[in-house]
A and B are shown apart, each in its own frame.
Chain A
Amino acid sequence: MTTRGPFDLDLRHMVRGDTQMIGVWVALLALIVFGLLRYDNFGSSYNIFSFLNYNSMFIVISIGMALVIMTGGIDLSVGSVAAFTSVCAAYLSPYGIEIALPGGMAAGAAIGGVNAFCIIAMRIPPFIATLATMLGAKGGALVISGAQTVSVDWSSNFTVFGMGKAFDLVPWTILVTLLVALVAWAILEHTLLGRTILAIGGGEEASALMGLGVTRAKTFVYLFSGACAGLAGVILASGYGAGQPLEGLGWELSAIASVVVGGTLLTGGLGSIPATVAGALLLGLVFNILNFENGKGTISLSAYWQLVIRGAFLFLVILLQSQFRSRPNAPR
């Protein structure tokens, strides 16, 4: 075994592990090849960038969700939190992205903090606590926005974040998403905090008895997930030029599906950030390809199909994953 530096990007290590985690990469590759062969504009930089730009919100949310699920928890509030923070960011937009971005993320983290408090201090089951904050954040978003979309300030540099490119090359949203993925990956793979997160999912009581900082790690994952949802809200407001209090419906489902597709066990204790990103991309790609098919006229799917397909996709993944459930403590 070769020695690795703490932040050495070892692709083999990232992809290695569960056969299932390889599965998501294979499926992703297969879909990309299929798309490249079948559609003319599939590989165009416009499609690639608009695809990544749109899906950056879901990737970011999925990363936060992945950490939560690894501890054996769940965060149903992400969609509402994103809606809430998109409104916050829209109100902060006159001060520029330097203020609106941290502000939106802080608002998201604050709701994550409420989640953590309810779950850890009040001992409320995660899905009830986050279901309640889902309602609360939705209500909050509607109250502060007056149930209207809130237009952003176009004169500041706020919309550059969601629509512009860094160095005229790569969209800012993609850069930031990559950064979030790197941070989450580094924390998970190379810090005690990350090990603790996985250990909690393996067995919370055992982890606590071993002297691991269970409370701290659980607090962290909910704060992190809240901040990720907050970032998604800022991307939403910045990319569409408005804070949207009614957005975010079903986002938690997409995030959970991406995480599960990425091979993270729903019972916690096992998971990977790169595979989660791949899962989110795979899910997005399914819709991208359906759009292309719609464009070709071979099929005609209304928007309602999206909901059905999303559910069917999750079902398929669960079916596949149920085979792996029998060995929850398999070595990574």
Chain B
Amino acid sequence: MRAQGEAIRDMVGSLLRRAKGRGPFRHGGLVALVILLAFNALVTPNFLQLQTLFVNVSQVATIAIVALGMTLVIATAGIDLSVGAVMALAGATAPLIFMSAFGQAYPVTGLVLAFVVPLIVAAACGLFNGLIVSVLGVQPIVATLILFISGRGLAQLLTNGNLQTFSNPAFSYLGAGKILGLPFQGWLALALAGSIFWLVNRTAFGRCILAIGGNERAAMLAGMPIRSVKIGVYMICAVLSGIAGLIVVAINSASDAARNGNLMELDAIAAAVVGGALLQGGRAPVFGALVGAVIIQLVRYTLLANGVEDEVALIAKALIIVLAVYVQQARKE
């Protein structure tokens, strides 16, 4: 017990030193991750089991995928509160399509459309957000508040507020399939992270994102297409949210418009910020967002596995967000 306490104290000390140091904050995030893993290995029963890894990977994927998009939006000094609502909307659309008469008559086409149409709907939501932010010049937080509330309302209207259950093995592969023993959505999240990393670091579009976040006016004067880049970023974020929404529906073999993606905006913002994204923009740590998502998931798992109530877990999450932003601010000043 004593040795445990000392080990934890050492690690906390090292975390604080790292966080204060000049290195990127995501190193602090990595240290936090190690602490969480060590704590769980020591305290949580049955933590070091393949089953635990499986459960956590399947749950972290959605947070990670949305956090990727959120990281891009935050990199332009924006924010997207509508991600959870877009998840609900995309998630509600898919079963409607493959369960429709058309979807039953042409299963293959129906299945393809069940993937494509929700993502088009999501992209349209992103276009809406992006247009309000870039063309009307409304603060992102207010602009995305519109879909944050009415997006979920639309999803509930589409489904009449009912839980839609279905049995469609091909669609459910998205949430229940396995590759090399690990959930399909985990691999999908990794692949998406790779693509986003490439987008940010190897394309002109990525350069524009970082430049806009660094200094929007300078970017504009340098002749960068501010509007289209911003619209593009919100659309990417919305499409990623749509994918996450489909995964949640596939995991449950049911779509619940009231709950799908509920409070996801908080998880995604927290993951992005813990991963090292600066709310003032100008930085897009893609793999940091993955680490952030894993931390958020592990905190939730740790609290749940040790019998802490869900309500208290909410408060813990709030504290994590505040602390992560605070450490960033302190480092910047």
- A residues sitting closer than 8 Å to B (CB atoms) are 74, 118, 122-125, 127-129, 131-136, 138-140, 142-143, 147, 250, 253, 256, 260, 266-267, 302, 304-312, 314-315, 318-319, 322, 325
Q: Are B329 and A322 in contact (CB under 8 A)?
A: no
Q: Does B137 contact A (CB under 8 A)?
A: yes
Partner of A250, one of B132, B149, B279, B326: B149
List A contacts of B322 (CB < 8 A). Answer: 118, 122, 124, 128-129, 132
CB closest residue in chain A, given B258: A304
Given the known inter-chain contacts A123-B329, A311-B147, A322-B137, please indicate yes or no for A304 contacting B142, CB distance below 8 A: no
Given the known inter-chain contacts A122-B326, A127-B79, A138-B314, please indicate yes or no for A132 contacting B136, CB distance below 8 A: no
Q: Does B154 contact A (CB under 8 A)?
A: yes
Given the known inter-chain contacts A136-B314, A322-B136, please indicate yes or no for A311 contacting B146, CB distance below 8 A: yes
Q: Are A318 and B132 in contact (CB under 8 A)?
A: yes
Q: Are A125 and B153 in contact (CB under 8 A)?
A: no
Q: Does B199 contact A (CB under 8 A)?
A: no
In whole angstroms, what is the CA distance A256 to B141 when docked?
11
List B contacts of A312 (CB < 8 A). Answer: 146, 150
CB closest residue in chain B, given A311: B150
Q: Are B157 and A305 in contact (CB under 8 A)?
A: yes
Max count, chain A CB within 10 A of own CB: residue among B132, B145, B157, B326: B145
Query: Distance (Å) between the CB of B266 and the closest chain A CB?
Result: 6
Query: Distance (Å) between the CB of B76 and the closest chain A CB?
Result: 15
Partner of A310, one of B149, B263, B315, B321: B149
Q: Are B329 and A124 in contact (CB under 8 A)?
A: yes
Q: What are 14 residue pairs bridging A and B, where the CB atoms are less than 8 Å apart in the complex?
A: A123-B329, A128-B273, A128-B279, A135-B263, A135-B314, A140-B315, A266-B139, A267-B139, A302-B157, A307-B156, A308-B157, A310-B150, A310-B153, A322-B138
- B residues sitting closer than 8 Å to A (CB atoms) are 79, 132, 136-139, 141-143, 145-154, 156-157, 160-161, 263, 266, 269, 273, 279, 309-315, 317-319, 321-322, 325-326, 329, 333
Q: Are B153 and A307 in contact (CB under 8 A)?
A: yes
List B contacts of A134 (CB < 8 A). Answer: 318
In whole angstroms, what is the CA distance A132 to B333 when docked?
22
Q: Are A128 and B321 in contact (CB under 8 A)?
A: yes
Q: Are A319 and B136 in contact (CB under 8 A)?
A: yes
Query: Distance (Å) between the CB of A275 and the closest chain B CB?
Result: 18
Query: Distance (Å) between the CB of B333 and the closest chain A CB?
Result: 7
Q: Are B311 and A139 in contact (CB under 8 A)?
A: yes
CB closest residue in chain A, given B138: A318
Given the known inter-chain contacts A256-B145, A311-B153, please indicate yes or no for A304 contacting B318, CB distance below 8 A: no
CB closest residue in chain B, given A325: B137
In whole angstroms, what is the CA distance A60 to B12 when docked?
44
Q: Are B311 and A304 in contact (CB under 8 A)?
A: no
Q: Are A131 and B149 in contact (CB under 8 A)?
A: no
List A contacts of B142 (CB < 8 A). Answer: 256, 260, 266, 314, 318
In whole angstroms, what is the CA distance A322 to B136 when docked?
6
In whole angstroms, what is the CA distance A225 to B80 when docked?
24
Query: Distance (Å) between the CB of A234 and the closest chain B CB?
Result: 22
Query: Distance (Å) between the CB of A270 and the closest chain B CB?
Result: 15
Max count, chain B CB within 10 A of own CB: residue among A74, A128, A147, A305: A128
CB closest residue in chain B, given A77: B318
Given the known inter-chain contacts A311-B146, A311-B153, please indicate yes or no for A139 contacting B141, CB distance below 8 A: no
In whole angstroms, what is the CA distance A134 to B270 when docked?
14
Query: Distance (Å) between the CB of B325 and the closest chain A CB?
Result: 5
Query: Distance (Å) between the CB of A321 and the closest chain B CB?
Result: 8
Partner of B161, one of A140, A143, A304: A304
List A contacts of B152 (CB < 8 A). Answer: 307
In whole angstroms, what is the CA distance A123 to B313 when docked?
24
Query: Distance (Å) between the CB of A61 and the closest chain B CB?
Result: 15
Q: Are B309 and A122 in contact (CB under 8 A)?
A: no
Q: Are A135 and B266 in contact (CB under 8 A)?
A: yes
Q: Are A139 and B145 in contact (CB under 8 A)?
A: no
In whole angstroms, what is the CA distance A314 to B146 when docked?
7
CB closest residue in chain A, given B263: A135
Q: Are A123 and B333 in contact (CB under 8 A)?
A: yes
List B contacts of A250 (CB < 8 A). Answer: 149
Query: Distance (Å) between the CB of B196 and the closest chain A CB?
Result: 23
Q: Are A304 and B317 in contact (CB under 8 A)?
A: no
Query: Distance (Å) between the CB of B238 and the closest chain A CB?
Result: 15
In whole angstroms, what is the CA distance A135 to B149 when docked?
17
Given contact pairs A136-B315, A302-B161, A318-B146, enumerate 20 new A-B contacts (beta carbons under 8 Å). A123-B326, A123-B333, A124-B326, A124-B329, A128-B273, A132-B318, A135-B314, A135-B317, A135-B318, A143-B312, A266-B139, A302-B157, A304-B154, A305-B153, A306-B153, A311-B146, A311-B150, A318-B132, A318-B142, A325-B136
In whole angstroms, what is the CA distance A143 to B333 when docked?
36
Q: Are A139 and B153 in contact (CB under 8 A)?
A: no
Partner of B309, one of A124, A131, A140, A143: A143
Q: Are B149 and A307 in contact (CB under 8 A)?
A: yes
List B contacts of A123 (CB < 8 A). Answer: 326, 329, 333
In whole angstroms, what is the CA distance A309 to B150 when docked?
7
CB closest residue in chain A, given B135: A322
CB closest residue in chain A, given B155: A304
